Amino acid sequence: MVARVIPVDPFDLVVFGGTGDLARRKLLPALYHRMLGGQALPDSRIIAAARSDLDAGSFRHRVKEALRDHAAPEKLDPERLAAFLTTLDYVRVDAQGEDGWDSLFDRLKDSERMRVFYLSVAPQFFGPISERLATSGCRTPDTRLVVEKPLGRDLESARALNRQLATIFEERQIYRIDHYLGKETVQNLMALRFANALFEPIWNARHVDHVQITVAERVGVGGRGNYYDRNGALRDMMQNHLLQLLCLIAMEPPAHFEPDAVRDEKLKVLRSLKPLVGLGNVVRGQYRGINGEADYLEDVENPGSRTESFVAIKVEIANWRWNGTPFYLRTGKRLRARMSEIAVVFKDAPHSIFPESAGGTHPNVLAIRLQPDEGITLRLTIKEPGPGGMRLCEVPLDMTFAETLGAQGLSIPDAYERLVMDVIRGDQTLFMRDDEVEAAWRWIDPIIASAETTSERPQPYDSYSSGPEDALMLMHRDGRRWRALAA
């Protein structure tokens, strides 16, 4: 199978914060890969705008180093790399002051290419930069603006940000990235559900016992202690990535695979989430170092911190499809394995025709592994092979994307490759709309408020364990179990 690549029209992409971490690790490698793939043409321009006093030559040199570290090693062809570097330019711009805006305008003014401004900067600069884009003349009617989380820290600030951006750009011009939506396997959720007739008839509370969504990481907070401690797992992961996954798994079939049709359905899920009162269905934890490794509190250099590095929530969706089927969501750092998956656990067979000696039947489980080792497993009960009468056992029907599609010559691109190209193509399907972001905050705000006012500290859990005891209890008390965390 050969990947079908449709080249995009040449574009001007201005990356504010173009010397920063995200640009170095994700954005520029993604653009390089897309150019190699023949999708983005070399006569496009990528202009980094940042505060450092650099010229285009030294910026290119930095990017060359960054690609050595972060692009796929087998793709580092010197000639193609040199061609990519020629598309790069650098402008020194002061996001809040006057400096540099004229130079940026000069670079862009004679170009009729479509413009993208990617704000890879702290959120407090979103407003000021957008305003300058308008007053400096850089904004055109076809300009697209890309922003990334945190999109506010509660409903009020998210609304204020949306309002501010709306005074400068139309909603059709604003691309709010949640990089989980760009992951191949996450997009595959929609293909799995809506391109196969098999699942839809049983995708409801009559047949589904419960759903588990896990995003577990082995890493701690690393060098982002300051940011993380102000946000915690609730703001950093739950409000966005996990709720987005929940939307995709729970939404009704959209009428079309089109931006507003998909986003309307996701919004309905968010609006149907049962409000949580207090922390009865919420477990928060903080990792404890083992073998001499630092605790969460040491990592964030805040001995009194009550911020959670783990959270598990039992969520209910009050609508016809899901009434009575709980969704258990958990995410955390320093857990046993890096593992993100969605598991749909079906109800038991209504009646067993087999004798007790056969062993019981087991519920079917459809597990969608998002990372690592992306794939899909369907757990089935079959007869144990061989003599000895009828004995039942469980087997996985296992499909790994890398094996199945790799054998056909396709590889799995990074989320940013897909998302940046979607911005350039003008496709907002995988981006969050203003009302979605607000609905997610509206639901999670009371949980965060309870977490911030409770006298209970997050429960400690050992690094590289499955998380706090109480998270296990959240499931046990309903007669259910989390799936094992294993890579």
Catalytic site residues? 241
Closest CA to 330 of 439, 475, 226, 476: 475
Residue number with CB closer to ligand BG6 (229 or 236): 236
Report, in Å, the least distance between residue 415 CB and ligand BG6: 7
Between 91 and 451, name the residue whose CB sits nearer to ligand BG6: 451
Cβ 293 to ligand BG6 shortest distance, Å: 17
- DSSP notation for 399-416: EEHHHHHHTTT-----HH
Query: Which of 234, 254, 418 lies closest to 310, judged by CA?
Result: 234
273: DSSP letter: B
- Count of positions on this chain that bind ligand BG6 (CB under 6 A): 2
Q: Is 438 in the site for ligand BG6 (CB under 6 A)?
A: no
Element (H, E) at 91: strand 88-92
The label of the residue with tokens 């890398």 reads: 402
Sheet holding 365-371, edge to edge: 392-400, 375-383, 365-371, 339-346, 208-216, 327-332, 310-315, 282-288, 459-462
CB of 43 to ligand BG6, least distance (A): 31
Q: Does 236 bind ligand BG6 (CB under 6 A)?
A: yes
Given 12, 184, 209, 217, the residue binding ligand BG6 (CB under 6 A): 217
114-119 and 459-462: which strand pairing?
unpaired
Q: 172-211 mask for ligand BG6 (x: CB under 6 A)? A: ----------------------------------------
**Rounded to the nearest whole angstrom, what is the least distance from the CB of residue 361 to ligand BG6 in the complex?**
35
Q: Compute the C-alpha angle 480/484/486, nearest 5°.
A: 165
Residue number, 113 or 224, with CB nearest to ligand BG6? 224
Nearest approach, Cβ of 272 to ligand BG6 (angstroms)? 25
Q: H or E element: which one contains 47? A: strand 45-50
For 162-320, where are the E strands, in sequence order? 174-177, 208-216, 282-288, 310-315
86: left (phi over 0), alpha (psi -120 to 50) or beta: alpha
Burial of residue 56 (CB within 10 Å: 0-12, 13-18, 19+) is middle
Looking at beta carbons only, is 108 or 213 nearer to ligand BG6?
213
| Per-residue contact flags (x/-) with ligand BG6 for residues 351 to 380, judged by CB under 6 A | ------------------------------
Q: Based on CB atoms, which residue is closest to ligand BG6, 217 or 295?
A: 217
Of the two residues 54 and 430, which places its CB atom closer to ligand BG6 in the complex?
Answer: 430
Nearer to ligand BG6, 214 or 325 (CB): 214
> How near is the Cβ of 150 to ligand BG6 at its closest, in Å?
9
Closest CB 331 distance from ligand BG6, rounded Å:
9
Residue 215 C-alpha from the chain's centroid: 10
Cβ proximity to ligand BG6: between 177 and 273 the closer is: 177
> Could you tell me if 252 and 268 are in contact, meaning their C-beta atoms sit under 8 angstroms apart?
yes
What amino acid occupies position 243? Answer: L
Lateral strand order in the sheet of 11-16: 88-92, 45-50, 11-16, 114-119, 144-148, 174-177
* Smallest gap from residue 53 Cβ to ligand BG6 (A): 29
Where does this chain bind ligand BG6 (CB under 6 A)? 217, 236
